[in-house]
Amino acid sequence: MPENSRVNDPTDRQLGLRTPEGVYATRDMGTFRLRQMGQKGAFRLEILVLFDSKGGNTYALAKAVAEGIVEVDGMQPRMRRPKETTPMEVIRADKTWSEFYDFKTAEIPEVKLDDLAETEGLALGSPTRFGNMTPALGNFIEGTGALWQRGALVGKVAGVFCSTGTLHGANELTLITMSIPLIHLGYIIVPLGYTDRGVTETTRGGTPYGPTSVSGLPDESAADVELRLCRVFGKRLAEITKKLRS
C-alpha cells in the first residue's frame, strides 16, 4: 500500500471501485492539499459524482459513471448525495422511497461545499422533476454563491446525467437545465457527444448531451446500453479532467 493512502470510504468499498494497487488516496488528502505539497502526479485527481435518487435509477447511473472514471489511470470518483429536502413523513409513507433513503444515507456521504472546491471535476446526476434537477440538488447549488463570487470553480470540468420515467418526459431537457448553473459557475461542460455508437443505436436513454436512462420502459433487456454509455461518459470526463487539471 503506497504511503499516505488507505481505504477509508465505505462508498468506495461498497462500489468495489479499486485501483490496480487496491487503494485510494484518502478524502482528506484531496488534490487541493496535494498540489500545495507539490506532489503532483503522486496522487489521484478526484471527480465529484454528485447525484440524487429517490428509487435507485439515477444511483445505478452514478455507479456506472464512477466505474468509467476509475478506468483512467490516476483518476478517482468521490460519490456524494445532497441533503434531503423532502419531509420525512412523506418519505416514510412510501415503502420503496423509504428503503432506498435508508440505503442511500447509510452508504453515501452528504455533499459539502468543500467537495466542489476540493475536486477537479463534477458529474452531476438527477432524476428529472418536470425537466429540472431535484429540489435537493437545486438547494445545494443555491448555496454555491460564495464559490461563484470568488471564481473557485472556473475552469473545472463538469458533465450531467439523468433518469426520466418516460421516453419523451424531458430526458434531454433535464440535462440542459442541469447544465445552466454549472455554466454560470464557470465549469467547462463535457458532453457525451456521439462518442459511442450506443448514442445512435439506443432505443431507450443515452443522449449526446449526457448519459440518461428511461426507467419506465418495459424492455429492460435493452437497458445495458444506458449503463455502458455512463461508463463511456465517466471515462471521457476523467480523461479530459486529467488533461486539463494535471
Q: How far is the CB of 57 from ligand FMN (least distance, A)?
A: 3
Return the H-helix or E-strand segment holding 32: helix 31-36
DSSP state of 209: T
Q: Is 205 in the site for ligand FMN (CB under 6 A)?
A: no
Name the one range near ligand FMN by CB under 6 A: 101-109, 126-134, 150-158, 224-232: 126-134
135 class by beta-carbon count within 10 Å (0-12 exposed, 13-18 middle, 19+ buried): middle
Give the whole-angstrom CA distance, residue 66 versus residue 227.
11
Evaluate whether 126 touches 166 at the Cβ level (below 8 Å).
no
The residue from 9, 35, 56, 217 that contacts ligand FMN (CB under 6 A) is 56
Q: Which residues between 57 and 96 bind ligand FMN (CB under 6 A)?
A: 57-58
Give the one residue of 104, 215, 234, 236 binding ligand FMN; rule: CB under 6 A: 215
Q: Which of 41, 17, 19, 37 minimizes the C-alpha distance to 28? A: 37
Q: Which of 1, 22, 106, 130 binds ligand FMN (CB under 6 A)?
A: 130
The C-alpha cell at 80 is 456524494
Q: Which is nearer to ligand FMN, 204 or 231 (CB)?
A: 204
For residue 159, what are the contacts with CB-CB under 8 A and spacing of at least 6?
A: 122, 123, 124, 189, 190, 191, 192, 210, 233, 236, 237
Q: Identify the residue among 11, 128, 179, 241 touching ligand FMN (CB under 6 A).
A: 128
Minimum distance, C-beta of residue 181 to ligand FMN, in the bound complex (Å)? 19
Least distance (Å) from ligand FMN to the CB of residue 242? 28
Range 151-180, binding ligand FMN (CB under 6 A) = 163-166, 169-170
> Binding to ligand FMN by residue 122, rule CB under 6 A?
no
Nearer to ligand FMN, 71 or 99 (CB): 99
Contact between residue 211 and residue 123 where contact means Cβ atoms under 8 Å apart: no
By CB under 6 A, name the binding residues for ligand FMN. 53-58, 127-131, 163-166, 169-170, 215
